Amino acid sequence: MLGNFTYCNPTKLYFGEGAIKNLGGELAKYGKNVVLVYGGGSIKKNGIYDAVTAVLKERGKDVAEIAGVMPNPTLAKLYEGMEIARAHGADLILAVGGGSVCDYAKALAVSVHCEEDPWQKYYVRFEEPSCKIVPVACVLTMVGTGSEMNAGSVITNRETKQKIGHVFASEEVMPRFSVLDPTYTFTLPHYQMVAGIYDIFNHICEQYFSGEDDNTSDYIAEGLMRSVIRSGIDANKDPRDYEARSNLMWTATWALNTLIACGKATDWMVHMLGQAVGGVTDATHGMTLAAVSLAYYRHILPYGLKKFVRFAVNVWGVDPAGRTDEETAREGLAAMERWMKELGLVMNISELGVKESMLEELADVTLVMNGGYKALGREEIVEIFRESL
């Protein structure tokens, strides 16, 4: 482990069936004015809205609602919410939903008292908040992003077609507490469930495919990946398999709460390619990652060959005997591809609405990261998108 790091994660987690019983005690620690944030209505259908509002009422909270936070939450929606949260004098922002709702709540938390335009400040100049940050808490209903225990917040600007994530440095942006009840994810449509499973897996890959040193973070990453692979298969067969769904919920949290990035540079290039697709098409986040991953990993494989061999052997159980390193590495990606197809993931960007004529536009909005095995040039980006069609 050669890198230096600081690790602090202040989010308190309440995990397991019935974990909502802890909400009241936590709410008691905050002021009266709560802003309740949720999505397009799934929580009203599955009873989670009723469960949460009953506790808010019991604790005597004055609640303002921001409903209709869409997947890939937009800047326009953020501006709308800022007015509501300001007028209400928010003491706590309670997000009830998936990554979109949780990300939105964090963007709101740093914008309510911000005197500048939050898009320019946080998503263009990537500055840290200099204003008071409103505390955020989360009741999670969709598994994948890790937003329940991190300081990431992804916002989409529909006007410029940019989807940009800011991982805030301040721990104050992380949820103060998150309620993680795996049974809350049972009502997710299959498409969202498997998109979330791939999102988890790719978060781990993004932090795994970098560096040459012997690093504890990589061993943890391999264990998490093996758990996601197994639980993904089980949940795909039986979405009400509590054991599988709870494992997925837990691995998602650990996949992106900064633990496995400790002491490492990280890649994140699949996310940059996927976010470009998401910004232009508004497609589901996990599917955008699935659709570009294999073309990207096959492209960078020669530059990180040793790690791809290790991935094949330790994560996918490929037997290296009688194979060259390159054959072993490629067999690992072939095993990953079979798993992705078994889950029913979207395997190309055409299915998400991308046409060949859009590839240059996609390359224009793709941010290039340099923590992985190869910093991509523009031609390579266009090529990877072309291979992903």
List residues near Zn ion by CB under 5 A.
199
First CA to last CA distance, the chain: 38
Residue 270 three-state SS? helix
User: How many residues belong to the site for ligand NZQ (CB under 6 A)?
Assistant: 36
Min dist. Cβ of residue 151 to ligand NZQ (A): 8
User: What letter would DSSP give residue 222?
Assistant: H
Backbone torsions φ then ψ of 225, nearest 5 degrees: -65, -40
Beta strand segments in the chain, E: 12-15, 33-38, 62-66, 92-97, 136-140, 152-157, 162-167, 177-180
Kindly state whether residue 282 participates in binding ligand NZQ, applying the rule CB under 6 A: no
Pick from 22, 187, 314, 348: which binds ligand NZQ (CB under 6 A)? Answer: 187
Position among 188, 235, 294, 295 found at the interface with ligand NZQ (CB under 6 A): 188
Q: Which of positions 127-156 make contact with ligand NZQ (CB under 6 A)? A: 141-142, 144-147, 150, 152-154
175 Cβ neighbours under 8 A, 6+ residues apart: 11, 95, 102, 105, 106, 136, 137, 138, 148, 149
Q: How far is CA 140 from CA 37, 99, 236, 301, in A?
A: 12, 8, 20, 35
Kindly tell me which of 211 and 274 has the beta carbon lying closer to ligand NZQ. 274
**Which is closer to ligand NZQ, CB of 145 or CB of 328?**
145
Q: Which stretch binds ligand NZQ (CB under 6 A): 50-58, 92-100, 222-230, 312-320?
A: 92-100
Our finding on whether 41 is near ligand NZQ (CB under 6 A) is yes
Closest separation between CB of residue 175 and ligand NZQ, Å?
Answer: 10
Residue nearest to Zn ion (CB): 199
Rounded to a whole number of angstroms, the minimum distance from the CB of residue 145 to Zn ion is 6
**Please, which residue, 39 or 196, has the CB nearer to Zn ion?**
196
Q: Which residues share a beta bridge with 96?
A: 38, 139
Gyration radius (Cα) of the chain, Å: 20
Query: Is 332 one of the binding residues for ligand NZQ (CB under 6 A)?
Result: no
Which is nearer to Zn ion, 278 or 332 (by Cβ)? 278
Q: Which is nearer to ligand NZQ, 97 or 304 (CB)?
A: 97
Interface segment toward ligand NZQ; rule CB under 6 A; list 15-23, 99-107, 172-180, 362-370 = 99-107
Number of C-beta neighbours around residue 271 at 10 A: 24
Smallest gap, in angstroms, from Cβ of residue 348 to Zn ion?
A: 18
User: Using CB distances below 5 to 8 A depending on partner kind, what does residue 188 bind out of Zn ion, ligand NZQ, none?
Assistant: ligand NZQ
Phi/psi at 355 (5° precision): -115, 160
Given the complex with Zn ion, which of 329 and 346 has the nearer CB atom?
Answer: 346
Nearest distance from C-beta of residue 89 to ligand NZQ, angstroms:
26
Q: Which of 332, 13, 329 is nearest to 179 (CA)?
A: 13
Spatial contact of 70 and 103, defined as CB atoms under 8 Å apart? no
Assess 184 for contact with ligand NZQ (CB under 6 A).
yes
Residue number, 211 or 286, with CB nearest to ligand NZQ: 286
Q: In the 3-class helix/strand/coil scheme, how is 290-319 assigned residue by residue?
A: HHHHHHHHHHHHHHHHHHHHHHHHHHHCCC
Shortest Cβ 7–ligand NZQ spacing (Å): 17
Cβ 189 to ligand NZQ shortest distance, Å: 6
355: which residues sit within 8 A by CB, 6+ positions away?
none
Q: Which does 41 bind (CB under 5 to 8 A by kind): ligand NZQ, Zn ion, none?
A: ligand NZQ
Alpha-carbon distance of 203 to 271, in angstroms, equals 8
Please choose, from the candidates 170, 230, 156, 238, the residue with its C-alpha nearest in 3D space to the C-alpha of residue 200.
Answer: 230
**Residue 9 contact partner, candidates ligand NZQ, Zn ion, none, CB within 5 to 8 A by sort of partner:** none
For residues 122 and 320, give the distance between their C-alpha atoms in angstroms, rounded to a whole number.
46
Angle between helices 242-255 and 216-237 (to 10 degrees): 150
> Among 20, 33, 40, 127, which residue interacts with ligand NZQ (rule: CB under 6 A)?
40
Q: Which residues bind ligand NZQ (CB under 6 A)?
A: 39-43, 46, 71-72, 97-101, 103, 141-142, 144-147, 150, 152-154, 165, 184-185, 187-188, 192, 196, 199, 256, 271, 285-286
